[in-house]
Amino acid sequence: MKILPSIGFNDFSGSAGNVTARKVGDKTYLSSRTKHARTKTPSQAATRCRFTDATRGYANITEEQRQGWISLAARLGRYFTSSGYVTMTGHNLFVAINSYRQLCGKPITADAPPEIKPSRYIRWRDLWITPEHIVFTHVGIRQSPSEVLLIETYPSPSPSIKNGWSRTVILTVCPETDWGDVDITEAFIQKYGAPLTIGQDLYMKVSWLDSECGYLAEFTHIAFPALKNTTYSSGLVYTPRARITMDDIEPETEFFVCEAMDYELSPGSKIASNSITIRVMEGGSTIDNFRFNHHGLPEAFYAAERTYQYARGTAEQRYFIQCVYVLIFNITSKYIYIAWVTGIDTVHFETFGTYYFTI
C-alpha cells in the first residue's frame, strides 16, 4: 500500500495525487498537476524527444561546463521563450538553446556559447494569408549562413479567441528564403490537415534564429484573418512568380527526359534565368524538338516566346557547345520545346544562363 503524506498542513511541500503543494515565503500554494495528453502527433513526439534529449544532456556535462551555462544564464537574467519570460537558470538555458539547435538539425552542445546571437525580427513587404496561400515576400537576407527562419503558428478555431500568442507551435524552420519569398502553405496544410478558411485568424511568430546559437529572443508578431485573395500591405491580388519547375511539367517522354527544370522570368523587359538538363534516350534524336507538356503556367508566359541560349554537353559528352532555344506555349497549347539550333548536339546536355525572352 502506498502511503501518501498529508498535504493538509501548513509546512508541507510535495504532491499527492494530482495536487501539488509548494511553499513560497509564509504561504503554501496548491495547484493541480498538469499531465500532457498521451496522444502524440509526430511533431509533438519530436518536440518531446528534443526536450528530453536536451534535459538528459545537461546531466552528462562536466561541472566546468555546467558552470559556464550558469554563468551565462546569470548574465542574461531572464529568458524569453515563446510563451513569455522565465527565470533563467543554467539548466533552462542549456535546454532552451539545445532544443532550438536540435530543431535546426544541430547536435547538442555541451559548452555554453561564447557569444550570444539573439534571434531578430523579420521584415516583409507582401503577405498573403488566404485559403490557398500563406506567403511572405521580400523577407530580406539572412545576416549569416547559420541563420534560419523560425515560424510558429496558431490558426484560431474560433473568433472568440482573442489572444492566440501563447498557443503558437513551431510550424517549420526555413533554412533560407526563395529570393525573399517564404511560402508556408504546404507546411501549414501538412501540420493542420486543412487550409485556413476565410476570416479565420492566424497568429504567427516569425524570427531569424541563429541555428548555431539557438537563442530565441525577439520575433515578429503577425496576426491577421485569412482573406480571399489580397495581400496585407499593398492590397495586391496574389500573383505567382513567372516560374517553371519540375513540378510544372511532364518530364519523361519515350525518347527524352528532362532531368532538371528551373526557369524564371525577371523584368527588364522579360529576361529569363534558367537551368535545364536534357537526356536523350536510346532511339531518340539529338536534333529533335524535345517537347514536354506542362500543367499550365503563370500568365506572364502568355504567348509563344523563347530564349536562345548556350547549352553544354556533360563531361561524358565532352563539354561540346550548342545553341538551343526554349520555346514556351501557354495559351491554347501547353508545352515547352527545347530545340537544337546549331553547334555540336549531344545526348546529355545542360542549358543555362540569363537571356532575353523574345518572340
Regarding 341 and contact with another protein (CB under 8 A), the answer is yes
Can you say whether the dihedral through the CA atoms of 131, 134, 135, 139 is positive or negative? positive
Q: Which of 335, 344, 347, 348 binds another protein (CB under 8 A)?
A: 344
User: Are 205 and 152 within 8 A, CB to CB?
Assistant: yes
When binding is defined by CB under 8 A, the residue of 98, 207, 309, 330 that contacts another protein is 309
CB distance 260 to 246 below 8 Å: yes
Closest distance of CB 280 from another protein, Å: 17
Which DSSP symbol is given to 102?
A: H
Least distance between another protein and beta carbon 121 (Å): 21
- Interacting residue with another protein among 49, 246, 321, 331 (CB under 8 A): 321
- Taking the least distance from each CB to another protein, the nearer of 31 and 143 is 143
Per the document, the length of the chain is: 359
**175 scored as a contact of another protein (CB under 8 A):** no
Closer to another protein by Cβ: residue 85 or 356: 356
Identify which of residues 161 and 287 has a Cβ nearer to another protein in the complex: 287
Whose cell is 502511503? That residue is 3
Q: Which of residues 268-297 bind another protein (CB under 8 A)?
A: 268-271, 273-275
- Indicate which single residue of 181, 250, 259, 288 sits in contact with another protein (rule: CB under 8 A): 181
Residue 193, by phi and psi: left (phi above 0), alpha (psi -120 to 50) or beta? left
Among 32-40, 46-54, 80-88, 259-267, the segment contacting another protein (CB under 8 A): 259-267
Cβ atoms of 171 and 119 within 8 Å: the answer is: no
* CA–CA dist 5, 13 (Å, integer): 10
Contact present, 312 and 343 (Cβ < 8 Å): no
Residue 144 interacting with another protein (CB under 8 A): no
Does position 12 interact with another protein (CB under 8 A)? The reply is no
d(CA 31, CA 298): 58
Question: Does 347 help bind another protein (rule: CB under 8 A)?
Answer: no
Choice between 62 and 342, CB closer to another protein: 342
Piece of the chain touching another protein by CB under 8 A; list 9-17, 37-45, 208-216, 346-354: 346-354
Q: What are the backbone angles phi and psi of residue 186, rounded to the nearest 5°?
A: -65, -45
Q: What angle do CA 343, 336, 297 make, to 5 degrees?
A: 145
CA distance 337 to 13: 77
316 binds another protein, rule: CB under 8 A: no
User: For binding to another protein (CB under 8 A), which residues are involved?
Assistant: 126, 137-138, 141, 178-181, 236, 239-243, 264-271, 273-275, 300, 308-312, 315, 318-321, 323, 341-344, 352-359
